């Protein structure tokens, strides 16, 4: 019974190619979106870290000799 059901669900190769291609394109698009989001977050964190470093350097009594707390 299961084999008959699976045989009915089979798609000929010439009909399956567009679906497989669409799945790969969708996956690639999701990866690109994820990388764009992570890149934006990384640049924001780097910018904020630079601002914090400048604020710490301008703070009275701070010296670059004492990096460790």
Q: What's the pLDDT tens digit per position in 15-25?
A: 889 999 999 99
Q: Is the pLDDT of residue 1 over 90?
A: no
- Per-residue CA distances from 64 to 8, 16, 42, 48, 61 (Å): 73, 63, 25, 19, 10
Confidence class for position 7, pLDDT limits 50, 70, 90: low
- Give pTM, 2 decimals: 0.63
Percent of the chain at pLDDT > 90 equals 61
Q: Is the pLDDT of residue 64 over 60?
A: no
Predicted confidence (pLDDT) per residue in 25-35, tens digit: 999 999 999 99
Distance CA 34, CA 16 (A): 27
């Amino acid at each position: 019974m299961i084999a008959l059901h699976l045989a009915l669900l089979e798609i000929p190769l010439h009909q399956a190619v567009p679906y497989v291609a669409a799945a790969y394109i969708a996956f690639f698009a999701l990866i690109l979106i994820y990388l764009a989001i992570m890149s934006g977050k990384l640049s924001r964190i780097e910018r904020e870290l630079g601002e914090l470093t400048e604020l710490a350097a301008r703070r009275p009594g701070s010296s670059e000799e004492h990096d460790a707390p």
